[in-house]
Chain A
């Protein structure tokens, strides 16, 4: 059933509804695909075969009985291993949580279960979502299906690679500074960071609480909208979750209309530091949108230039506190040093052994930024920058309905290339971070392949807070125009995964 795995989630859902295919068949097809390719990709940290098939069988039975079902019932999904799930391990990509099983489900997981979407398993990530390449996972890197020597982006490289390699039609990611969108860009998939508060964070292991947001990963804009409507909405367990209804996102994606819309090109998110092939594809997209009747305007967000620096103060500050709970006392790894260990030594030894270098780097950075005497200069200043970025967005959205930029300055780099240069790694998120700093929604969709390396380029759309629908409306138009120019989906151009019988 190789064809089955190449269907979009929407197409699969329709076939399921029409009883042309069963949920068990679809789920099994994806499990077979995982079995075939994941040895090479390493997108999954855990495969949830039994439960996924069980849920699929329930869906088939319910459908046979004529029960009412959610439109996505029986459509399988992968979940980033930063989101807690009952019945499966949750590791956050860290040794410190190895073997830990959550006694509760994240709110988004409850919603997946309510919709009866079989959960295929848990996907790889940079440890505690800290990284842009998935190389910081304690369980080995995930590889980019386009080129196994390259990174799939991060931190959500596992979810993006799983979707790109047809191991899942949909996945959940989390995005703190671009962890959904940048992996989407470098794997030729779609990823959405909803408005902050649009999707409950309850059960998403926190890195930086004021920046984290769960969102959809898919192969089409419409599929992300479908998943977004499943997971979105108010949650009384998350005080920062918005009370607004999630909105007509699927309708916006199906409408796909840009005529008369003003689309703002952010002056500061192009030019120096951006790969030529990325900019070529970006300008092509602008031309397509213009041809579809959109007005392309230029906007300036002068404070975006401070976004990365401010982000690397706020994010580690919050992370240093959020990660304090991993101490070996209540759950997860416990390392008891020799001799007569005190609680301090047990906590110290546990954290020394359980956390990787990047996590330690950020904990130390954050601890320093929050310490007495430095707080105002670091955390305090960074919060002021955050306000300035919000003002930049507010001003830009006076002039434009949606903003547009490349998602990442480059295509996928090689594994190991930036591992010893954290600053170079951090720069990869320069275009995605402002959205997190302001809480506005962002979507990345495939913009084609860069001429110089033949690797996917991502186009990022940004909308005002609570206007996520605009992303889908514009994204769907751009996607259809691009696919028309390519003669099909971009992923159809991906090379066969080496060593896999039957190629892709």
Chain B
């Protein structure tokens, strides 16, 4: 299948003529210890077909048993999405033959999802808030994983045979479905990304999912349709499957809008189908036709009894919910006194929680930001990891900062101390000791170095004597160089001016 052969209109042109309508189905894999309906471990990356019981393989005679923790996670997600929680809900069988589905039906929910009719307010980058209505969130089980062998593309086309790993089969999933999202206009791609990011953040914040998109913990199917401005009825939609990064969600929605516009411009109808997203070409290709009448022969799962909730249980779970991420951000920004731009940078750098922890450990908001947005972010970028993954603890920053404030070390030296600590050389104080990094505070050696620097740059010394105090920087630089940075620059400046008899 060749990718990217479709005609597309420019995004701006598409927007001039059409309104996009979006819809999302986001699958969240829960991080329960065991699977949705069996006692097999729910774990990623293990040897294929080891995390299975007879239930996960769909062997003759087996029966499912609902994972109570998964139900609680589903209720928490529902509450976080402002949904109503069903008093009684059922599982249903979705019947279709596919070898990654051991029973050839998926145990899911159909007419009675556990959570329904909620909403999520999405804040866009310019601060506008867009409300996305949630139709439902329901419980189901994941399928196994197929690996197609012998072909060049890794896809089923051209493969000689396929291998199946049932470790993932039966992993608890919550599918979150939006109502049609109208009125986003040219913000549609941005909204798409922000919506999926918000879902990811919420489930991570709830602690119910590891929320790692690269592992498929959060997977998005993005529905897009266009209609000419002013028309009420929806156009025909396409569903781009398994768009598995935030950037891809944004790009896929943008691409489909442009492709739809080009097709509609030629007067041809859009084919209702699934689309595959290709990261390399940043385009979609045709999947399989999908009609609203796809017949999965749903019927109530007779092997399971209904899930019955009650007010007390729901309220207990509601009381346990952590602060919603959006509210938390508002509170933290106010507490810390960061500007909008500063705070956005902090959020985008993924260091908000680290800063929160560091402040809690005992430094000012400004100091915490300096460290996390400065030195630690720089190192993370070099190492190509998340800042939080560098192993810098809030306590370490507190200690480093205390050393700086006491004048023992300066900012530049603190980086060497950090090196030493991360290299396992001990506590910051120990590293200072071992590496001999303390600021030279004895004036004797400093004066010696100052005299040397003045002698080396007599013209500068003259300028300073003549009143050009700002020229002192060059001498300070010379002294710092001579002391390998181990001098307190402020003190050096004072001493130079004193030496030359000039008022600072």
Contacts and interface: CB of A to CB of B under 8 A. Distances in A.
Interface string A344-362: 1001000000000000000
Nearest to B305: A239
Given A104-B54, A236-B65, A329-B99, A97 B302 contact: no
Contacts of B237: none
Q: Is the interface of A mostly helix, strand, loop or mixed?
A: loop
A379 B97 CA distance: 21
Contacts of A344: 97
A83 interface: yes
Interface stretch (B195-203, B292-300, B417-425): B292-300
A426 interface: no
B297 A367 contact: yes
Nearest to A331: B59
A27 to B, nearest CB: 26
B164 interface: yes
B297 A371 contact: yes
Interface residues of B, number: 30
A209 B59 contact: no
A103 interface: yes
A210 interface: yes
Interface string A425-449: 0000000000000000000000000
B127 interface: no
Interface in A175-234: 201-206, 208-210
Given A84-B61, A102-B60, A205-B61, A343 B99 contact: yes
Interface in B21-75: 54, 57-66
A327 B103 CA distance: 9
Nearest to B53: A104
Interface string B105-147: 1000000000000000000000000000000000000000000
B164 A324 contact: no
Given A205-B61, A321-B93, A343 B303 contact: no
B94 to A, nearest CB: 10
A238 B63 CA distance: 6
B299 A317 contact: yes
A371 B299 CA distance: 10
Contact of A324 (B64, B95, B293, B295): B95
A206 B103 CA distance: 12
Contact of A325 (B60, B64, B164, B298): B60
B104 A103 contact: no
A237 B304 CA distance: 11
B295 A372 contact: yes
B162 interface: yes
Contacts of A320: 95, 297
A438 to B, nearest CB: 15
A310 interface: no
Contacts of A324: 95, 97, 103-105
Nearest to B104: A324
Interface residues of A, number: 44
A303 interface: no
Contact of A372 (B62, B103, B293, B303): B293
A424 B257 CA distance: 60
Interface in A280-315: none
A102 B61 contact: yes
A400 interface: no
A455 interface: no
Interface in A343-393: 343-344, 347, 367, 370-372, 375, 379
Interface in B76-100: 93, 95, 97, 99
Specify which of A202, A206, A239, A367 lies most central, judged by the most chain B CB atoms within 10 Å of its CB: A239
A281 to B, nearest CB: 36
Nearest to B160: A340
Nearest to B162: A343
21 contacts: A83-B61, A84-B59, A90-B60, A103-B54, A104-B59, A203-B62, A204-B61, A205-B60, A236-B65, A237-B65, A238-B65, A239-B64, A239-B303, A240-B63, A321-B95, A321-B299, A324-B97, A324-B105, A330-B59, A371-B297, A375-B298
Given A204-B61, A208-B302, A321-B105, 8 more contacts: A83-B61, A202-B63, A239-B305, A240-B303, A321-B297, A324-B103, A329-B99, A370-B298
Interface of A: 83-84, 90, 92, 97, 100, 102-104, 106, 201-206, 208-210, 236-240, 317-318, 320-321, 324-327, 329-331, 343-344, 347, 367, 370-372, 375, 379
The 5 residue pairs across chains A and B that have the minimum distance between CB atoms: A324-B104, A209-B302, A370-B297, A210-B302, A203-B61
